Amino acid sequence: MSLPSITNLTLMQSFFGFFLKTEVTFIPGLLDKYIGNYYNNTLCNGATWMFLGWFLLHAIFDSVLNGLLRKMKCQKYVRTRLQKSLWYLGFYATACIYCLATLFRNQLQIIKMKEPFDSTNLPSGHLILGFIMMLTFYLHSAFWEGVKYEDATLFLSYLSLFLFLCFSYFFRFVEGSFRLNIVICVTHIMLELTRCTALLERSKSRARVIGGNFALSILVFVVNYAIVIPVLFGYPLIKGNSTSVAILLSVLLLWLLFETYSSVCFKALCHWMNHTASEQCGKDIFECSLFPPRSDATYTFLRLQKEMKERQEKGMAAKRPKNRNMVFQTLKCMVAMKRKIKERRKSIDETKQSLNEENREKDENGIMFETYDDVDSQIVDGKIAFNINGKSSENGKSKQE
pLDDT tens string 185-227: 999 999 999 999 998 766 667 788 888 999 999 999 999 999 9
Helix 204-223 and helix 174-198, axial crossing angle in degrees, nearest 10: 160
Rounded to an integer, the average pLDDT of 83-89 is 96
Rounded to an integer, the average pLDDT of 103-116 is 63
Answer with the one of 253, 269, 298 that is the final residue of a domain. 298
Q: Are residues 288 and 381 in the same domain?
A: no
HSE-CB for 28 with a 13 A CA cutoff: 16
Domain tally, the chain: 2
pLDDT at residue 368 tops 50: no
Domain of 174 in residue numbering reads as 21-298
Q: Are residues 55 and 148 in the same domain?
A: yes
Give pLDDT, residue 275: 65
- Whether residue 312 is contained in a domain is answered as no
For 100-163, strand residue ranges (E) read none
Of 12 and 239, the structure prediction assigns the larger pLDDT to 239
Residue type, position 197, single letter: T
Residue 386's pLDDT band (cuts 50, 70, 90): very low
pLDDT at residue 322 tops 80: no
pTM to 2 decimal places: 0.69
- Whether residue 362 is contained in a domain is answered as no
What are the φ/ψ torsions at residue 379 (nearest 5 degrees)?
Answer: -95, 120
Q: How far is CA 237 from CA 147, 161, 187, in A?
A: 33, 16, 22
Longest CA–CA separation in the chain, Å: 150
pLDDT at residue 3 tops 70: no
* Share above pLDDT 90 across residues of the chain, in percent, rounded to a whole number: 30
Answer with the one of 243, 265, 298 that is the final residue of a domain. 298
Q: What is the pLDDT of residues 122-159, one digit of tens each?
A: 456 667 788 889 999 999 999 999 999 889 999 999 99
